[in-house]
Amino acid sequence: MTNRKILIADDNQQIRMLVSASLRSLGHELVVAVDGEEALEKAIAERPDLVLLDVTMPKLDGFEVLGFLRKRPETADLKVIMLTTAAQQTDKKRGAELGCDDYLVKPFEPGELREVVQAVLTQ
């Protein structure tokens, strides 16, 4: 698989660092956003191959970002994995209804994250 660009959107610096460390070995380019507004801006500007999107973020939550991405023709087909502590069935259902490609609950195992990322990137 060729190197891809992955946007990591999470307001928690430790989570961003853990996700980055978990994915670095895959050789992909990693871009980070610290809130929902920045995530949306970077997704539009950077055109990543995949967005890892937290639900609970300032300015715009992850569901709002996903909704905006799906409505824009240039980002409607972006691969999106919700990576969040929002683990309720209603949260997972909302993510699916908005069109996320997968839903991973924190805390996560680095190996599981890599497997899910690789699977979504090859869909």
* The model's pTM: 0.94
Structural domain boundaries in the chain? 5-121
Burial tier of 8 (Cβ tally within 10 Å: 0-12, 13-18, 19+):
buried
* CA–CA gap between residue 92 and residue 90 (Å, rounded): 5
- pLDDT at residue 43 greater than cutoff 60: yes
Q: What's 73's DSSP letter? A: T
Lowest mean pLDDT, pick from 64-68, 88-92, 98-102: 88-92
Q: Which has more confidence, 38 or 84?
A: 38
Total Cβ atoms within 10 A of residue 51: 30
Q: Which CATH number, 1.10.10.60, 3.30.420.40, 3.40.50.300, 3.40.50.2300, labels domain 5-121? A: 3.40.50.2300
